[in-house]
């Protein structure tokens, strides 16, 4: 078990002490329990967001996964090596793919009458 000394601004400290009193009263170690639980939850959130950053592409046929890869190029080579025709497969991604959007004016040539 380690000991860490931290500095908090006054508002955060007041809230922390209020929560510790409400949950644990004046029992010894209450503040450590609250901070340990808060950090454990925070670390779980960070781990989930790190996993979310990893994109996985899956090739599905009739709802069954036939191939899985981290890039589309890798998925294509896996399908090719297994002799699976990509037509008719549904390719899904764990992370939404942003569509390419092009904007701007479209100009038509005008006919000049001279």
- Tokens 């510790």 belong to 20
pLDDT tens digit sequence for 91-108: 888 776 666 677 777 777
pTM more than 0.85: no
In angstroms, the Cα distances linking 17 to 52, 68, 104 are 34, 49, 57
pLDDT tens digit sequence for 42-90: 887 777 666 556 788 999 988 788 999 988 999 999 999 999 998 889 8
Q: What is the C-alpha separation between 29 and 23, in angstroms, rounded?
A: 11
Task: Give Rg (Cα) of the chain.
Answer: 28
Q: What is the C-alpha separation between 26 and 32, in angstroms, rounded?
A: 12
Report pLDDT for 55: 81
């Amino acid at each position: 078990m380690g000991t860490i000394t931290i500095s908090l601004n006054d508002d955060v400290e007041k809230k922390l002490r209020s929560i510790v009193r409400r949950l644990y009263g004046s029992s010894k170690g209450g503040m450590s329990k609250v901070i340990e639980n808060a950090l454990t939850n925070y670390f779980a959130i960070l781990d989930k967001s790190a996993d979310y950053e990893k994109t996985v592409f899956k090739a599905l046929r009739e709802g069954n996964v036939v191939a899985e890869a981290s890039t589309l190029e890798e998925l294509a080579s896996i399908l090719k090596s297994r002799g699976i025709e990509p037509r008719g497969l549904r390719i899904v991604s764990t992370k939404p793919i942003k569509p390419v959007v092009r904007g701007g004016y479209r100009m038509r040539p005008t006919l000049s009458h001279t």
